[in-house]
Chain A
Amino acid sequence: MTLSAEKSGRGRSIGGYLIRMRSLNVFFIFVILFAVFTFLSPGNRFISKDNILIYLATGAEFNIIAVAVGMLMISGEFDLSVGSVLVFCSYTFTQVYASGVHILLAVIITAGAGTILGFINGMITVKARIPSFITTLGAMLLWRGVTLMWSGGEQKGIDLLQHPVMYKLIAGSIGGLIPSQFFWFIGIAVILALIMHYHKVGNWIFTTGDNREAARAMGIRTDRMKVLCFSIVGFAVAVAAVMQIFRAGTFSARAGDGWELKAIAAAVVGGTALTGGIGSMMGVFWGAFVISVIENGLVLLRVPYYWTFTIFGVVIVSTAILSVYIEKRRLLFGAERC
Chain B
Amino acid sequence: MEFFKIHRDIPFMRHALVFNLVSLVTFLAAIFFLFSRGLHLSVEFTGGTLMEVSYSQPADLTKVREVVSGLGYTDVQVQNFGSARDVLIRLPAQKGVSSAEQSDKLMAALKGADASAEKRRIEYVGPQVGDELAADGLKALAFVVAGIMLYLAIRFEWKFAVAAIIANLHDVIIILGFFAFFQWEFSLPVLAAVLAVLGYSVNESVVIFDRIRENFRRYRKMNTVEIINNAITSTISRTIITHGCTQLMVLSMLLFGGATLHYFALALTIGILFGIYSSVFVAAAIAMWLGIQREDLIKGTVKKETDPSDPNAGAAV
Partners in one complex: no
